[in-house]
């Protein structure tokens, strides 16, 4: 018969749990008192195997102790609670030592319930919660085997307060039914564990496999060793009892060790995130490491919502697609001031309810937003660098495939008998091509006459009617401001012509104080998705690199309006 546990000194983190810590101390002290009383009664009554029977209350104490430690370490998990419950049933089973009708009856009824609790522990590891209907049915079947199907063993056995008749035949038949039903429960449990291991990640599988194998072994030890007592142990109960004590005694230890080794166990309290935030920035760990340590999930990811990306990005600015429920992962948004600044991706096996993740997200929201700005700046710079590299490659390709080929052709023609007029036409064509190439890199009107003149020149070269409003641009602006503003206007016009089919465009440029405000509005199809395309994202990068802001308002059927405000100095 299985028995169980007691209280131990609680971890320092427990002192922060207030009433919970006090309640757990009471549970632990109560378990110690019960176990000590049972041991004293067993030893007082004496008997050939009293020394061996006295170890069963100690077994219950092991369950309660490890359960209390696990409970304090991760209060949101029911793993500790289940271990304490298992220890409680083990202690109840030993009240039969008190030679009185009620204690004897209670001990006989709950004698094997610890096995059902072990089934529940295996199927609910590491959160202590059952996730599927099949798991709940298997656990329910386990309790039915250990409670109702236990009844024939004491109802039809003589010499106990619950006996209805002395019918050894019915008691034996009931025992066989219980063993068969128990075997089916163990088989169903093993099947569910195998399926879970198949879906687990490799690092989790390395923990779940030995845990599951040992758990199944412990479940089988009690009925199998009892059935083989005569044939294997020659009727001697000592080896069988020692085997049961040892195998069941290691169950809670194996569970706690598995939780720690598998990254299933939390190593600090959520309150310590606040301490992390207040520590010296140069010496504190990175945000992801702090969350992983606190939550006990080494796979935790910190993701960011940055401008220019629809998907969340990691700390390198690379988009990450995380679908809730996919590959056993879950995500919780992190909000600051009513806006989503990022998300925390976590192992859904560890947290079947995300409340603890949300609480952690609220604690680190400001720090996450600060890191988000850094990631956003890094991603923006990377995109600007990539755009510049792409532009250089385009210029090199145009020079190689266009102007260089034309000049080589002119050189061949000059060496031949071609007339001068043909050469002049070729040279004029090369000059036009070179001018267009230079203009594509930096319009001559922009460098020579300024932003307003360059926009006017752009307007005059387009077939579509463009209404231009200019105010406050009597003085030249910094070249980087003029260049960014020109790029935004030309890109917005280009996007409208390509995708919106407008009948007319309006461009406004106005410098007031130290700000340059520009707007490009069309009456086209609308429906542009802000920051979704490379063109809009490129505009935003250029404007934000100068400390400005870009906004895109686009309603289907009502046109698109691109607005930017850029700090400017004459």
**Boundaries of every domain in the chain:** 12-261, 271-371, 387-441, 448-567
Query: What's the CATH number for 12-261?
Result: 1.20.1070
Question: Of the candidates 47, 166, 29, 171, which has an alpha carbon nearest to the alpha carbon of residue 99?
Answer: 47
Q: How far apart are CA 298 and CA 291, in angstroms?
A: 9
Burial of 323 (0-12, 13-18, 19+ CB in 10 A): exposed
Q: Which residues are paired to 343 by β-bridges?
A: 303, 333
Q: What is the pLDDT along the chain (570 residues), one digit of tens a residue?
A: 333 333 333 333 434 455 667 888 899 899 999 989 988 888 888 777 788 888 889 999 999 999 998 887 777 678 889 999 999 999 988 887 777 888 888 888 998 899 999 999 999 988 788 888 999 999 999 999 999 999 998 899 887 888 888 888 998 999 899 999 999 999 999 999 999 888 877 777 888 899 999 999 998 888 888 777 777 777 788 888 888 889 999 999 998 888 776 555 554 556 566 666 666 555 556 788 878 777 777 788 888 887 766 778 787 777 777 665 556 688 888 888 888 888 888 887 777 667 778 888 888 888 888 888 877 777 666 666 666 666 667 666 666 666 666 677 777 767 666 677 777 777 777 777 776 666 666 677 777 888 888 888 888 888 788 888 989 888 888 888 888 888 889 888 888 888 878 888 899 999 988 899 999 998 888 777 644 455 777 788 788 878 888 888 888 878 889 999 998 865
Check for a shared fold between 12-261 and 448-567. no
Looking at CATH, the fold of the domain delimited by 448-567 is given as: Heat Shock Protein 90 (3.30.565)
Q: How far apart are CA 265 and CA 270, in angstroms?
A: 13
Helix (H) or strand (E) segment spanning residue 312: strand 312-313
This model's pTM is above 0.85 = no
Q: Which long-range contacts (CB under 8 A, 24 or more apart) does 7-16 make?
A: 7/31, 7/32, 7/64, 7/65, 7/68, 8/65, 8/68, 8/69, 10/68, 10/69, 10/72, 11/69, 11/72, 11/73, 13/72, 13/73, 13/268, 13/269, 14/72, 16/269, 16/271
Residues with Cβ within 8 Å of 255's Cβ and at least 6 positions away in sequence, in order, are 66, 70, 79, 83, 121, 125, 211
User: In this structure, are strands 560-567 and 301-304 parallel, antiparallel, or unpaired?
Assistant: unpaired
* Structure-block tokens of residue 460: 């005059």
Helices vs. strands in the chain: H and E counts, helices first: 22, 10
Question: Of the candidates 439, 534, 553, which has an alpha carbon nearest to the alpha carbon of residue 491?
Answer: 534
Backbone angles phi, psi at 499, to 5 degrees: -115, -25
């Amino acid at each position: 018969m299985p028995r169980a546990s007691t209280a131990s000194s609680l971890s320092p983190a427990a002192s922060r749990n207030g009433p919970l810590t006090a309640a757990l101390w009471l549970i632990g002290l109560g378990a110690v008192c019960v176990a000590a009383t049972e041991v004293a009664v067993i030893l007082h009554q004496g008997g050939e195997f009293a020394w061996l029977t006295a170890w069963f209350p100690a077994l219950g104490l092991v369950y309660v102790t490890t359960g209390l430690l696990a409970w304090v370490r991760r209060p949101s998990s029911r793993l500790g609670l289940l271990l304490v419950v298992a220890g409680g049933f083990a202690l109840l089973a030993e009240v039969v030592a008190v030679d009185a009708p009620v204690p004897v009856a209670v001990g006989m009824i709950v004698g094997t319930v610890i096995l059902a609790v072990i089934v529940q522990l295996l199927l609910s590891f590491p959160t202590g919660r059952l996730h599927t209907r099949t798991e709940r049915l298997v656990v329910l079947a386990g309790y039915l085997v250990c409670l109702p199907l236990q009844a024939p063993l004491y109802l039809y056995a003589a010499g106990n307060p619950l006996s209805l008749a002395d019918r050894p035949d019915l008691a034996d038949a009931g025992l066989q039914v219980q063993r068969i039903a128990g075997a089916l429960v163990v088989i169903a449990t093993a099947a569910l564990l195998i399926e879970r291991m198949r879906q687990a990640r490799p690092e989790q599988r390395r923990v779940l496999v030995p845990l599951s194998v040992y758990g199944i072994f412990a479940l089988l030890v009690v009925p199998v060793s009892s059935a083989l007592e005569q044939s294997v142990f020659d009727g001697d109960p000592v080896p069988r009892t020692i085997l049961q004590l040892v195998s069941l005694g290691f169950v809670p230890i194996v569970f706690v060790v598995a939780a720690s080794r598998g990254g299933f166990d939390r190593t600090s309290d959520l309150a310590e995130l606040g301490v992390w935030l207040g520590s010296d920035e140069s010496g504190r760990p990175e945000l992801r490491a702090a969350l992983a340590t606190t939550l006990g999930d080494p796979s935790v990811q910190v993701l960011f919502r940055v401008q220019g990306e629809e998907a969340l990005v990691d700390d390198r600015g690379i988009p990450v697609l995380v679908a809730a429920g996919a590959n056993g992962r879950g995500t919780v948004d992190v909000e600051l001031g009513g806006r989503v600044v990022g998300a925390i991706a976590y192992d859904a096996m560890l947290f079947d309810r995300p409340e603890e993740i949300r609480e952690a997200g609220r604690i680190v929201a400001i720090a996450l937003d600060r890191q988000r700005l850094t990631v956003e700046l890094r991603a923006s710079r990377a995109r600007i660098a990539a755009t510049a590299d792409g532009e250089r490659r385009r210029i090199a390709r145009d020079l190689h495939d266009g102007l260089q080929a034309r000049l080589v052709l002119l050189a061949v023609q000059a060496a031949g008998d071609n007339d001068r007029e043909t050469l002049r036409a070729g040279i004029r064509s090369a000059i036009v091509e070179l001018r267009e190439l230079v203009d594509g890199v930096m319009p001559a009107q922009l460098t020579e006459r300024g932003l307003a003149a360059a926009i006017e020149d752009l307007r005059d070269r387009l077939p579509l009617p463009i209404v231009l409003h200019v105010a406050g641009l009597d003085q030249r602006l910094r070249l980087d401001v003029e260049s960014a503003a020109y790029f935004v206007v030309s890109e917005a016009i280009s996007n409208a012509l390509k995708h919106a089919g407008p009948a007319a465009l309006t461009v406004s440029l106005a410098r007031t104080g130290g700000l340059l405000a520009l707007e490009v509005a069309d009456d086209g199809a609308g429906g542009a998705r802000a920051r979704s395309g490379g063109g809009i994202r490129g505009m935003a990068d250029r404007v934000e690199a100068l400390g400005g802001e870009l906004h895109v308002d686009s309603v289907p059927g009502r046109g698109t309006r691109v607005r930017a405000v850029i700090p400017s100095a004459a």
